[in-house]
Amino acid sequence: MKTYLVTGGAGFIGSNFIHYMFKKHENIKIINYDKLTYAGNLENLKSVENNSNYLFIQGDICDKDKLQQVFEKHDIDYVVNFAAESHVDRSIREPETFVKTNVLGTVTLLNAAKNDWILGDGFKSGKKYLQVSTDEVYGSLGKDGYFTEKTPLDSHSPYSSSKASADLMVKAYYDTYKMPLNITRCSNNYGAYQFPEKLIPLIINNCLNKRELPIYGDGLNIRDWLYVEDHCKAIDMVMENGKVGQVYNIGGHNERTNIHIVKTIISYIHDNVDSSVDESLIRYVEDRKGHDRRYGIDPEKIKTELGWYPETRFEDGIIKTIKWYLDNKDWMENVTSGDYQNYYKKMYL
């Protein structure tokens, strides 16, 4: 039985990953190690909390002693590092937190795993560390071309630069110690449990509350959207069969402009929930500083080497996602109470 240490498992992708893994594999243990920042929410994991193969530990990936205790107490085979500060707008306002968690935290976690797994000149067998990274480390594309694993790192925001810095430290642990590891770089995810500071859940929530829909700049920036469960599947496949030391890009050629996303959400809610929700709610606002224009992943390597392919088309995934938020209004009410109101006021009002 493999034991996974999933860091940041109470966040959006981490919690989806834990659900995905328990559905997919019968014989695994998962330890969810999460600091529970504003973005971490144990409600996301209610249905697994009594599973005897699941354990939650509240902890910071910057906490060397606590991590050492976790590795000493449990025989960890795999580490999947989701723990991060993940929102570009927040990184523009407070870059230091991003460097602390995303860079220092990653190195602290890598080191804890290395110290536990090292054996003689090499590593104990069956161990692997996976760093969940982002396509944003490659910077911004013009009209043509895609990010491949060979595209040079050219990050722009404090968020993406902290993720790129972490990636370089992960690479250093392979180049220097030959630690068994992979890096995955995925495009924008969407789906259940995403905190409503990110575009899709924010727009859904604002439509349902008839609030204005803020669109940065001209609304023509492009993101390459992937349904979160397709990302989880890719991580599982890279963990099992990815060549050690390699980077894998993950994306499904679902490029859409921001305005297209917003109009798609308005149209579904208008037709199915509330006909008074329409495009008059759209408000073009000041552009994000340093706003990357276009992201687009070339997923050829993970497709040909590992046989991964995305199962959910954007047009289906977005409907599933809107329906999830409609069916889980309590979840949205919980995460938007308290601090969220202050964040929203500072950002948008």
Active site residues: 135-136, 159
The interface with ligand NAD within residues 192-251 (CB under 6 A) comprises: 195
Judged by beta carbon distances under 5 to 8 A according to partner kind, the member of ligand NAD, ligand TYD, none in contact with residue 10 is ligand NAD
Residue 160 interacting with ligand NAD (CB under 6 A): no
* Helix-helix angle 199-208:314-327, to 10 degrees: 50
CB atoms within 10 A of CB 272: 12
* Secondary structure (H, E, C), 276-317: CCCHHHEEEECCCCCCCCECCECCHHHHHHHCCCCCCCHHHH
Residue 216 interacting with ligand TYD (CB under 6 A): yes
The interface with ligand NAD within residues 53-92 (CB under 6 A) comprises: 60-62, 82-86
- Please choose, from the candidates 341, 265, 252, 257, the residue with its C-alpha nearest in 3D space to the C-alpha of residue 297: 252
- Binding-site string for ligand NAD from residue 113 to residue 142, where x marks contact by CB under 6 A and - marks none: -------------------x-x--------
DSSP of 157-216, one letter per residue? SHHHHHHHHHHHHHHHHHHHH---EEEEEE--EESTT--TTSHHHHHHHHHHTT--EEEE
Sheet of 247-250, strand order:
54-58, 28-34, 2-7, 78-81, 128-134, 181-186, 247-250
Q: How many residues bind ligand NAD (CB under 6 A)?
A: 30
Can you give the length of the chain in residues?
Answer: 349
Residue 344 interacting with ligand TYD (CB under 6 A): no
Among the listed ranges 100-108, 175-183, 210-218, 306-314, the one in contact with ligand TYD (CB under 6 A) is 210-218
Q: Cβ of residue 263: shortest distance to ligand NAD, in angstroms? A: 20
Judged by beta carbon distances under 5 to 8 A according to partner kind, the member of ligand TYD, ligand NAD, none in contact with residue 189 is ligand NAD
Residue 7 interacting with ligand NAD (CB under 6 A): yes
Please give the single-letter amino acid code of residue 27. Answer: N
Residue 199 interacting with ligand TYD (CB under 6 A): yes
- CB-count burial class (<10 Å; 0-12, 13-18, 19+) for 74: middle
**DSSP structure class, residue 48:** G
Instruction: Tell which one of 4, 34, 113, 322 touches ligand NAD (CB under 6 A).
Output: 34
The interface with ligand TYD within residues 221-250 (CB under 6 A) comprises: 221, 223
Residue ranges in contact with ligand NAD by CB under 6 A: 7-8, 10-14, 34-37, 39-40, 60-62, 82-86, 101, 105, 132, 134, 163, 186, 188-189, 195
Residue ranges in contact with ligand TYD by CB under 6 A: 88, 188, 198-199, 202, 214-216, 221, 223, 258, 288
